[in-house]
Amino acid sequence: MVEVLKYDLVIIGSGLAGLRAAFEAARVSQGKIRIAVLSKVHAMRSHSVSAEGGASAVLYPKETGDSIDLHAYDTVKGSDFLADQDAVELLVQEAPKEIIFMDHLGVPWSRMIRVGYFRDHLEACRSRGRPSLRIRVASS
């Protein structure tokens, strides 16, 4: 007989998006709902694991001259102007908060020697030869 599993919430995909959604659902429900995360490939085979170790966010706008608008522009340009611009705007606005939040969860971002600063990988953020001013935080 087939076992039927019952959950309050089923999330498809165990990449960062799926796991972050599961985390938030558990937090908001205060652990009171049963959550399943399904994946068609092993969790360690998602693109989130393949990523080269960087995530972009405007963390130090004063120090770098970076801005949410610049990050949004770089992101839209990087998509050959195909990205949903409302989604990009939300992404770049939320990114700094998310990076700090994940840092507090224990994600081992690389840091600069100056205590507390995330490492800056300007060379890794070029867009068609133009050095981006985005801060890139890396887990590698």
Ligand X SMILES: Cc1cc2nc3c(=O)[nH]c(=O)nc-3n(C[C@H](O)[C@H](O)[C@H](O)COP(=O)(O)OP(=O)(O)OC[C@H]3O[C@@H](n4cnc5c(N)ncnc54)[C@H](O)[C@@H]3O)c2cc1C
Nearest to 124 by CA among 113, 135, 114: 135
For residue 29 the two structure tokens come to 């429900």
Q: How far is the CB of 59 from ligand X (least distance, A)?
A: 15
Q: Cα torsion for 92, 95, 97, 99, to the nearest 10°?
A: -160
Positions in 33-92 near ligand X (CB under 6 A): 38-41, 46-48, 50-55
Q: Is residue 12 close enough to count as binding ligand X by CB under 6 A?
A: yes
Which is closer to ligand X, CB of 1 or CB of 48? 48
Which is closer to ligand X, CB of 30 or CB of 109? 109
Q: How far is the CB of 120 from ligand X (least distance, A)?
A: 15
Cα-based distances in Å from 62 to 65, 68, 70, 78, 133: 6, 12, 13, 24, 11
Q: How far is the CB of 37 from ligand X (least distance, A)?
A: 8
Q: How far is the CB of 52 from ligand X (least distance, A)?
A: 4
- Measure the CA–CA gap between 91 and 3, rounded to whole angstroms: 40
Binding site for ligand X (CB under 6 A): 12-18, 38-41, 46-48, 50-55
